[in-house]
Amino acid sequence: MSPEEAKKRIDALSSELKQHNYNYFVLAMPTIADFDFDKKLEELNALEKQFPEYAEPDSPTQKVGGDITKDFVTVRHRWPMLSLGNTYNEQELLDFDQRIRKAIGDNFEYVCELKFDGLSISLTYENGKLARAVTRGDGVQGDDVTTNVRTINTIPKKLHAGNYPDDFEIRGEVFMHLKAFERLNNERLENGEVAYANPRNFASGTLKMQDSSEVAKRPLDCFLYFLYTEKLLFKTHWESLRAVKSWGFHTNEHSRLAGNIDEVFKFINTWDKKRFDLGYDIDGIVIKVNSYAQQQELGFTAKSPRWAIAYKFKAEQVQTELLSVSYQVGRTGAVTPVANLKPVLLAGTTVKRATLHNADEVEKRLKLHEGDWVYVEKGGEIIPKIISVNLEKRKADAKPIFYRTTCPACNTQLERKEGEAAFYCPNEDGCPPQIVGKMQHFIGRKAMNIDGLGDETIESFYKQGLITKISDLYDLHLHIDKLKQLDRFGEKSINNMLDGIEKSKQMPFEKVLFGLGIRYVGETVAKKLAAYFKNIDNLEAATFEELNAVEEIGERIALSVQAYFSDEKHKEEVEKLRSQGLQFVSDEKVVTLASEHLSGKTFIISGVFEKYSREELTHIIEQNGGKIVSSISAKLNYLVAGDNMGPAKLEKAQKLNIPIISDEELLGMIG
């Protein structure tokens, strides 16, 4: 056999055996006898020994997996992995369509895709080779699971020659087929192990295993559905899907182009019925604007793209008995009622509790009585919710359930603020769940991200009297003897925790501010406040008008920030944290200006440009003293307009007589 013939035969056998492996392990639907498979594998092995230059690293003859990952490294996403806005309602989907039309006109298409019930993954390829695989995490950063992802047969480790860029990222969903899930779950039960509740949990647990050879035994699959590159290679999302498929990526065959919202609804209705015929779980349909230029024009909110939405199929409902209503106290003092239910199977999991949200839900909408039979739904929420009551099953002498008037933890009289649905316990400095909740929030990943400390540890330390407020965490090094007396808390654990606490002192001001737990000051708001006021002293002294003037900071947030800093105990806590070395000043990047030609001028960039990306134009403006703003107002100095600019934005600019300039005119302004 000549080398050319050997290469062809090796390629053909590799491709065929990979497909047979996929059919057997992933789909649980073998299409070849074991004997025939083994003979082909022997032939491939012999050819690779004779012609080793043609053997690929991911050949079926090679052992998959085996590397041990003790700790998953956290990696920052190059492009944030945002979540999609979602709806279960056709009217909300029509509203989404109207918002799109108002922003970009009527000339656009949608791409409709199945919404897989798995876990998101981001794959980076360099020079045609898989370099890194990272989970979604919190959207900003995730865990590096490259070693485990390399065991997934449908994810190419090396691309064949093609017209793909040297460096790109592709996003997708890792999932497990239903038959493989059933087979593996039965094996777990036979081995006396606990079964997984659903394929998604099984896939998620598998991807985070430490031993990749064990991961390889649990067949996972992956559909890829979105390409990210530094420079746009294609004009539409549909073009990119066809391209990545030609590069060797596993894309879903059921995606479709839709010319209007009626065609979108037709696609949704088709798959609402056909989804049960699939070999994997889907829980809805994702709708995306097809044109990349129009996607850019529509932009993003802090959490999700404005050009895409997920339509969720109506959730499964079950009926069960209400046993009692209990109450949970959150870190902000909000008291939430929870229904305790007779256990019932719902959407693959056993449900024992359901959220009741607030007093109006208990007393007005549902009008719950003791012993009611209720309909429970899992509509995209982690905790199921009660939809309605079966009045036909209500006993004649059943007593109505009234929302409690005192805190279940500290017995303080509850308060309800005007315009809010929730009742609050005002005893924030003496109510145990609030105290513990605030400290748990402070150590969390999105706040101070303190390694070696978890929610259970915080609760244990509080019960032992070691900590009663956030600043006490930074005095734990003074209580090492007491720490050593605690169960399951050895010297190594103590040292890891103290190291984590010490490292947290380097976290930036915005993280510390978010960690303080000021009501309504979430992660995004904390960033805006830190960037605007620069330090804690300016923020503490800010008037209501100054706070309200900050972009996206409304009256409610402004009043909450003022209320927080008007409390002397909070001021004392901030001062103690400052004395312990925490960061209360923004770490501003020093920008070296190329010129001040645009000083004092504000700009908005809209549309697509032939020579520059929006990011490049933003950099040019800022380097020359200009400022980018987010919305058109009478104070805007210039609108830099490219192709495919949204008609609504153009109309508003013209109405306000805002000068509309090209990128060439912008460059002319700075010489």
Answer for the pair 164, 234: CB distance below 8 angstroms, yes or no: no
The two structure tokens encoding residue 533: 């006021």
Answer for the pair 203, 221: CB distance below 8 angstroms, yes or no: no
Rounded-to-integer distance, Cα 481 and Cα 533, Å: 42
* List of residues 6+ apart from 308 with CB closer than 8 A: 84, 85, 286, 287, 288, 289
The two structure tokens encoding residue 630: 């987010």
Q: Enumerate long-range contacts of 33-40, CB under 8 Å, 24 or more apart.
A: 40/13, 40/16
Query: Quick one: which H or E segment has residue 528?
Result: helix 523-533
Query: Quick one: which H or E segment has residue 206?
Result: helix 199-207
Rounded-to-integer distance, Cα 310 and Cα 294, Å: 18
Strand-pairing partners, residue 211, are 68
**Is 115 an active-site residue?**
yes
Strand-pairing partners, residue 606, are 641
Alpha helices in 282-431 (DSSP H): 292-298, 359-360
In 3-state terms, what secondary structure has residue 585? strand
* List of residues 6+ apart from 117 with CB closer than 8 A: 175, 198, 199, 200, 280, 281, 282, 283
CA 77, chain centre distance (Å):
12
The two structure tokens encoding residue 163: 């017209």
Rounded-to-integer distance, Cα 431 and Cα 486, Å: 24
The two structure tokens encoding residue 150: 């390399």
Q: Given 7, 8, 102, 115, which residue is catalytic?
A: 115
Active-site positions read 115
